[in-house]
Amino acid sequence: MRALAERSVAQTRELYERSANALRAVLETWERSLDAGGQGAVALNRTIIDIAERNISTGFDLATSLAGAKNLAEVMEVQAAYWRKQFGELSMQAEEVRALSTKVTADVVEPIKAQVTRDIDASTRQKRST
């Protein structure tokens, strides 16, 4: 009877240790993921602010050019040149934000993906050993 009780306590302790280790691993994974998300949000915010500042500067340049126009034809020419350039810029800016968003998403998901892979591998090894 005593041996059975000792074995039961040992098994319970082992189960507890495995559960506690798994919980610690999950919490560390979430912490890394949230850290990556926070850093990614900061990077996205900085990028968007930089883009806004560039666009505002371009708008001021347009206003200066328009103020210096001598006639309606020159105003139209300045406007057309501005919009041709701006459409290209907007396309590049959208690509810049898309690329950064993709990287941030990958950085946030990577710790979780790695933990799931480790858990599956550990589960597979455990099943093979039993």
pLDDT in tens, 19-76: 888 889 888 988 988 898 899 999 999 999 999 999 999 999 999 999 999 999 999 9
DSSP state of 68: T
* Domain positions in the chain: 2-129
| Cβ density class 97-112: b for 16+ within 10 Å, e for less | eeebeeebeebbeebe
φ and ψ at 24, to 5 degrees? Answer: -60, -45
Looking at residue 130, what is its pLDDT? Answer: 66
Which ranges constitute the DSSP H helices of 1-130? 2-67, 72-129
Question: What pLDDT score does 74 carry?
Answer: 97
> Rounded to 5 degrees, what angle do the CA atoms 6, 10, 11 make?
115
